[in-house]
Amino acid sequence: MKRKFYLEIVLGLVWILSGSEVLGLQPLYAGQKNHKNARADFEHIHALGIDADGRTLFLGAHTGLFRRENGGRSWQKVALPASTSHPDVMAITPDPKNSKTIYIGAHEAGVLKSADGGATWKEINSGLGGVDVHGIAIDPNDGKLHALVRDKGEGIYRSTNGGGKWIRVDDGPGGEVKGLYSVNISTGMGGIFLYAPTAEGLKRNPDCF
């Protein structure tokens, strides 16, 4: 699983580069010829995620959620529920075993889920103590979810049924947290660890609480 984790990152980078006009590192904007206007569409970017089939790239920005398919040269704004039509998308977590299932975490909108590849979305916040979600991690083995909530209701929440119900399980790393990731490391005892990049450095906790 560890090798698969790194392979998915490499494949994702290859996908991004092959979809650009010139093979190499360069800014990727929203598709307009005027890069200044295109940059305003995103304002700033928090997260990237690619579906399990490696065909659709999702981008989380201050102005919402965008998608890019099959190496296309432009980004399309994704329609979200009316109550959260322009959320600040902080995290994107595709299900590694089901390309149709995507989770996003948003500032002041909580967790949203799509079961049809991003065509439609619904809020799945039952049990969350707050809706300022800055990270979502999915266990690559059994699909168990963890969500990192900041400010009101701060802590780590767990769902074992695809976000149907959340339960608070830990205080979390504290401080200014930038994300949450579930990584399978071979230890002989399961080996699932939660990683959280923070303003004070990278923090790790074995998923045993």
Interval 109-161: pLDDT, tens: 999 999 999 999 999 999 999 999 999 999 888 888 999 998 889 999 999 99
157-187 confidence digits (pLDDT tens) = 999 999 999 999 888 777 777 778 777 665 5
Four-way CATH pick for 2-206: 2.130.10.10, 3.30.565.10, 1.10.540.10, 1.10.3720.10: 2.130.10.10
Categorize the per-residue pLDDT at 40 as very low, low, confident or very high, splitting at 50, 70 and 90. very low
Buried-state track 6-30, b at ≥16 Cβ within 10 A, e below 16: eebeeeeeebbeebeeeeeeeebbb
The yes-or-no verdict on residue 15 having pLDDT over 50 is no
Beta bridge partners of 198: 177, 201
- Output the pLDDT for position 202: 75
- pLDDT value for 8: 44
pLDDT(83) > 80? no
DSSP state letters, 136-163: EEE-TTT--EEEEE-STT-EEEEESSTT
Residue 199's DSSP bridge partners are none
- Write down the pLDDT at residue 28: 55
Predicted TM-score (pTM) of this structure: 0.76
Query: Considering only CA atoms, which of 145, 138, 164, 124 is closest in space to residue 51?
Result: 138
